[in-house]
Structure 1
Amino acid sequence: MTQHLKLYINGEWVDSINPQRQEILNPANQEVIAKAPKATKDETEKTIRTAKKTFESGVWSESDPQERSRILLQIADKMRANQEVLVTLEVENNGKTKREAASDVTDAINTFQYYADLLNNPNGQTYEGDDDLQTMIIKEPIGVAGLIVPWNFPLLMSMWKVAPALAAGNSIILKPAGITPMTAVKVFELIDETDLPKGVAHLLMGSGSVVGQTIAESDDVDIVSFTGSTEVGRGIMQAATGNLKKVSLELGGKSPNIIFDDADLRTAVDHALFGIFMGSGQVCSSGSRILVQEGIHDEFVAKFVERAKRIKVGPGNNKDSEMGAIVSEKQMERIVEYIRIGKEEGARIACGGKRIERDGMEKGFFIEPTVFVDVTSDMRIVKEEIFGPVVTIQTFKDETEAIKIANDTVYGLAGAVFSSDQDKAMRIIKKVRAGITWVNTYHLTNVQAPWGGYKQSGIGRSLGTYGLDEYQETKQINVNMDPKPIQWFG
């Protein structure tokens, strides 16, 4: 039965006045699983006004940290009790495997747990200066937070924003990606069952050109946090200049994975596979450019291709599936076009390169794990973000060339180094111009660590204490401990 989704505004589930609705598909078989509302500009503006009114009332923004912590833990407990439901929704809506979805749900719950615990830690600073002046540094909620998330991690990316924004005491408006709203809707149903005051959290579905643009432009929104493509992020940043609101952007990547000839080859191959094919390559931090030292290039490619060919692609709800569907037909066509471009540019396909239309996958959006070799840095498939299960493999001679190739990109989100020489690995990783890096592993990270990139991969950081800072203002309060006339004049 197709689910009829609604907007969540001021603590109530409501239909949009817009009669148009977006069909939500299961990318594994194109079945319609829901129909989502498309909020109008007026509805978005009304929601922003409500969020601002609630913020100014102080019902949440002025609540003590312990109360906010208690309610964040309520949300975490509700999500934990509905963990299997959330996993099922994520698989059906996004196309990822159960294993990946289960990991995302666990990480989302841990994010709420982390920020709930963080609120109970001491914070702030005090200084004693001259003339009996005592200075206090405190953190305050920034106001109304507009949160715009992508389709590749519909639940996790949402909660990476929702949890710290609420922890800081803000009112929030979450806009999930138009094609993947299902887990966000479920979480807001759970939030509605907690003690969070009504009017603090809102959920708007709709197009980026209407809902997202209105949030970014609004003078009553104090911060807009966006995760998505660099192109859209640039537009968000431009729209936000009206009231010079704070902007947090986590954008694209074309991340290098550097394999030296002294690396443990079995480990390097295994982690490189995970680095690119996890999430069907639809991950901003994917290691989509593998750089291999000349002496081990042929052996690495042979082992990597052999493993890539064995990856079990299939519907995410199949227990044997290791890589799921591409999220939509539009994204699948984009990936197929880049594969065509790569062949046209002269790169050689070592494996994959085709859409899969067999074994019950005829109606779904599936693409073979694809490996390009004989590539050069000027090729589009090396320079541009493909966002799919497509990887390029290049060679390098020495450390100097490895760093030059690795940093030859407008992006700077992630990167990795594989080497048995720890001194060399640390020397190289420090020279990689990226915000999230690994040595002898890939993708693994913790909620305590900041997430974000250099260059055109974004501005600001999510997670950790840095993630809480994104949603706070810093204020200094100066107190005269011995009030008396200053006698500066006269």
Structure 2
Amino acid sequence: MYGQRLAELVMEAAFPPGVINILCGIGSVAGQALADHREVRKISFTGITVVGRQLLATSSKTNLKKGRGEKAKLLHGGDDSGLPSNGHFVPNTAFSDVDPTASIIQEEIFGPVACIAHFRTEEEAIELANGTSYGLASAVFTENVNRAMRVGESLESGQVTANMWGTVNVNTPFGGVKETGFGRNLGRDALDEWTHVKCIKFQVSNL
């Protein structure tokens, strides 16, 4: 009923054709079709957590299909034929020679997927790393401490590690920048997120 009423309001407001479309159907059919479609960029739903896990699994598989169709070479994985059928699993997958504009390197894939791109200079590496709309964590691997500091300061991310994998410590702030999110968890900075600055002024000469 809500969808039908929304369609009526859309028509009354004279929206251009195709801007808003109402599709009626059950989740296992209509919803699954939307989740499977490679051109659907975002899905919002209200339901049980099982549906959320299913959508994440579907989107991960869709990203792997994108990688095969884009300018990238599949080095490892990408085939889920050997995975358990009971559950939501994504195979360890690695792509090389990935085009910097490819969706698999521009979008966040919360799964065991590595995208490898080549660079020749330090400046080019920084440009590639900062060339996305996300910035949760970055890592620098080098034998030069000065380079690690220099590159780390130039990377647009909420956390930078040098010669190690990303780690989480309860004493240090954790969070991203750009479209990855805002605010911080953990550390003193996280406590500040739950407070606000208040300015109180009063006249003392009349006391």
Report if TM-score (shorter chain) is over 0.5: yes
Question: Within 2, Cα distance between the matches of 1:329 and 1:475?
Answer: 45
- Aligned equivalent of 2:62: 337
Question: What is the one-letter code of the residue matched to 2:118?
Answer: T
The RMSD of aligned alpha carbons is 2.2
Which string of whole-angstrom CA distances, capped at 9 and with x for unpartnered residues, describes residues 30-70 of structure 1?
xxxxxxxxxxxxxxxxxxxxxxxxxxxxxxxxxxxxxxxxx
- Aligned equivalent of 1:397: 120
1:61-140 alignment runs, 5 A limit: none
Question: Within 2, Cα distance between the matches of 1:411 and 1:447?
Answer: 23
For the Cα contact (< 8 Å) 2:139–2:166, is it kept in 1? Answer: no
Of 185, 196, 199, which aligns to 1:462? 185
Question: Within 2, Cα distance between the matches of 1:445 and 1:342?
Answer: 29
Please state if 1:346 is matched with 2:71: yes
Give secondary structure in 2 for the equivalent of 1:442: coil
- Aligned equivalent of 1:437: 160
Question: Within 1, Cα distance between the matches of 2:111 and 2:68?
Answer: 16
Question: What is the one-letter code of the residue matched to 1:341?
Answer: K
Of 88, 110, 124, which aligns to 1:365? 88
Please state if 1:179 is matched with 2:53: no
Displacement after TM superposition at 1:462 (Å): 2.0
Give secondary structure in 2 for the equivalent of 1:396: coil
Which string of whole-angstrom CA distances, capped at 9 and with x for unpartnered residues, describes residues 374-400 of structure 1?
211011111112222111001110111
Which string of whole-angstrom CA distances, capped at 9 and with x for unpartnered residues, describes residues 463-490 of structure 1?
2222112122222333544426xxxxxx
- Aligned equivalent of 1:472: 195
For the Cα contact (< 8 Å) 2:136–2:158, is it kept in 1? Answer: yes
1:83-482 alignment runs, 5 A limit: 178-179=48-49, 328-357=53-82, 361-482=84-205
Give secondary structure in 1 for the equivalent of 2:199: strand
Question: Within 2, Cα distance between the matches of 1:420 and 1:471?
Answer: 39
Question: Within 2, Cα distance between the matches of 1:405 and 1:464?
Answer: 30
Question: Within 1, Cα distance between the matches of 2:105 and 2:121?
Answer: 20
Question: Within 1, Cα distance between the matches of 2:112 and 2:48?
Answer: 22
Displacement after TM superposition at 1:429 (Å): 0.7
Q: Percent identical across equivalent pairs? A: 35
Question: Within 1, Cα distance between the matches of 2:198 and 2:123?
Answer: 45
Question: Within 1, Cα distance between the matches of 2:53 and 2:168?
Answer: 27
What is the TM-score when the length of structure 1 is the normalising length? Answer: 0.31
Displacement after TM superposition at 1:428 (Å): 0.6
Question: Within 1, Cα distance between the matches of 2:177 and 2:145?
Answer: 24
Higher relative contact order (CA 8 A, sep 6+): 1
For the Cα contact (< 8 Å) 2:75–2:94, is it kept in 1? Answer: yes
What is the TM-score when the length of structure 2 is the normalising length? Answer: 0.70
Give secondary structure in 2 for the equivalent of 1:405: helix
Question: Within 2, Cα distance between the matches of 1:341 and 1:426?
Answer: 35
Which string of whole-angstrom CA distances, capped at 9 and with x for unpartnered residues, describes residues 88-123 of structure 1?
xxxxxxxxxxxxxxxxxxxxxxxxxxxxxxxxxxxx
For the Cα contact (< 8 Å) 1:356–1:368, is it kept in 2? Answer: no
Which string of whole-angstrom CA distances, capped at 9 and with x for unpartnered residues, describes residues 176-198 of structure 1?
x9417xxxxxxxxxxxxxxxxxx
Question: What is the one-letter code of the residue matched to 2:61?
Answer: V
Displacement after TM superposition at 1:362 (Å): 2.6
CA 1:475–1:421: 2 relative to 1, 3 Å? same
CA 1:367–1:458: 2 relative to 1, 3 Å? closer
For the Cα contact (< 8 Å) 2:137–2:166, is it kept in 1? Answer: no
Give secondary structure in 1 for the equivalent of 2:201: strand
* Number of residue pairs matched by the alignment: 161
Give secondary structure in 1 for the equivalent of 2:206: coil
Question: Within 1, Cα distance between the matches of 2:205 and 2:81?
Answer: 77
Give secondary structure in 2 for the equivalent of 1:458: coil
Which string of whole-angstrom CA distances, capped at 9 and with x for unpartnered residues, describes residues 383-425 of structure 1?
1122221110011101111111111011122111011111111
Question: Within 2, Cα distance between the matches of 1:479 and 1:346?
Answer: 65
Which string of whole-angstrom CA distances, capped at 9 and with x for unpartnered residues, describes residues 335-356 of structure 1?
1111111111131111110225
Gaps of 5+ in 1: 1-176, 181-206, 208-326, 485-490
